[in-house]
Amino acid sequence: MSHNHPTEASTSSNIAAKPWLKVAPVDKLASSSRHHLTLRHLHTQEYHSLLIFSFPPPTAKSSSSSEQSTASSSSVPSHDTYYCMEATCPHLGAPLENATIEANGAEFDDDIEDLVVVCPWHEYDFSLSTGESSHGISACVYDCSVRNDTLYIQAPTPSNLADDQDAHTASAKWELIELRPVSESSLAVASRQDAAQSLHQQASLLSLSSTDAEPQALDSVPPEDSLSISGKDGDTSMAPPSPIPKTLVEWAVLVLNTPDPVKKVAYTRLAAKAFRSGECKVIGGGRWHTSDAAAGRREWIIKPQETAPEHPPRMKEEVRVRPGQE
């Protein structure tokens, strides 16, 4: 992938020739030094997760000469420096949200481009600027550009392109589904071993993302989209549930809470169709809530409609058999 070095539109002659994706105004990214992005391609319907790392702008190290400081201030950007990288480790797919950032044989504040992201699972390191690793593999990185106080990133190339599709044109067809800050308290771990243990315990939760803004609910499903289920009494048209689930986890909980096996199948198919078509774009599953920032106490909050039942309901006429018995 291309070198992930932030560039300004005014200093790049070919910036307009590349496909760029608008992320957000830089002031919206000030809440955290890391943000998780979820993209969805309009044509291939594939999803792509990225991480944005931000660093404060450099400051003058010496103020001995007012003339030097005045001259240097004009070349110092007023915004943060941004880097974009794949959200998962290319080794075994571990999430890099809570990976540590370490110096690569240099002082931490010496040069941002000397810093590496270290995967907490197996300690694979990846350069922020190039994605290269000392282990012989590399992570994809993407150029970042700040224009009019808004962050843009170089769009990734879709992986499910048809033979007749142009990669450059297809790269411009991404839409931003989710932008969420990564909790700063998760980064304050004592060591890589602590981070690895924490990530192993939370691995399933890290893949369940929710947004601050609730997605638009599906107001209706066209009649032709209703499922025809073949039952004992013939074909019956299955109406969609009301209200329509907003997240994939809500669909899963709805299926669990539905005792009728025919409806279970219908709702499962509707859930798959909604997710593949992009009508249901959020996985869901809860979010972290910091109850006491000073003490670093957090709790995982799950909405009632995303809470799985302890014992899924069954049909009254069902016959229950103990394991090993007929």
> What is the distance, to the nearest Å, from the Cα of residue 287 to the centroid of all Cα atoms in its chain?
13
- pLDDT at residue 76, rounded to an integer: 44
Cα(51)–Cα(47) distance, rounded to whole angstroms?
Answer: 14
Helices (H), 110-259: 167-170, 192-206, 248-256
* Model pLDDT, residue 142: 92
pLDDT tens digits for range 255-273: 999 998 889 999 998 998 8
- The count of C-alpha atoms lying within 13 angstroms of the C-alpha of 104, restricted to the half-sphere facing its C-beta, is 19
Structure confidence by residue, pLDDT tens digits, 120-138:
888 888 988 899 988 888 9
pLDDT in tens, 220-237: 334 334 443 444 444 446
pLDDT at 111: 53
Q: Which residues pair with 22 in a beta bridge?
A: 152
For position 14, what pLDDT does the model report? Answer: 45
- Asked whether 293 and 32 are in contact (CB, 8 A), the reply is no
282 neighbors 210 (Cβ within 8 angstroms):
yes
Higher pLDDT: 163 or 101? It is 101
Question: In the predicted model, what is the mean pLDDT of the chain?
Answer: 73
Whole-angstrom distance, CA of residue 152 vs CA of residue 143: 8
Cα–Cα nearest to 253, from 218, 305, 300:
305
Residue 48, H or E segment: strand 47-55
* pLDDT of 119: 87
Residue 284, Cβ density class (10 Å: 0-12 exposed, 13-18 middle, ≥19 buried): buried
CA distances from 71 to 8, 59, 103, 111, 182 (A): 19, 13, 29, 21, 36
Residue type, 40: R
d(CA 314, CA 65): 79
Q: How far is CA 186 from CA 121, 222, 227, in A?
A: 15, 43, 44
176-225 confidence digits (pLDDT tens): 988 988 876 544 444 444 544 554 454 444 334 433 434 333 333 343 34
Instruction: Identify the CATH homologous superfamily for domain 7-60+67-206.
Output: Rieske [2Fe-2S] iron-sulphur domain (2.102.10.10)
Residue ranges of domains in the chain? 7-60+67-206, 209-326
The percentage of residues in the chain with a pLDDT greater than 90, rounded to a whole number, is 17
Query: Cα(244)–Cα(219) distance, rounded to whole angstroms?
Result: 7
Q: CA nearest 119: which of 104, 106, 131, 101?
A: 101
pLDDT of residue 70: 44
Nearest to 39 by CA among 29, 31, 30, 51: 51
Quote the tokens at residue 161. Answer: 């392109």
The predicted-structure confidence for 269-307, as pLDDT tens digits, reads as follows: 899 888 877 788 788 888 777 777 677 777 888 889 999
Q: What is the CB neighbour count within 10 angstroms for residue 148?
A: 8
What pLDDT is stored for residue 144 in this prediction?
Answer: 93
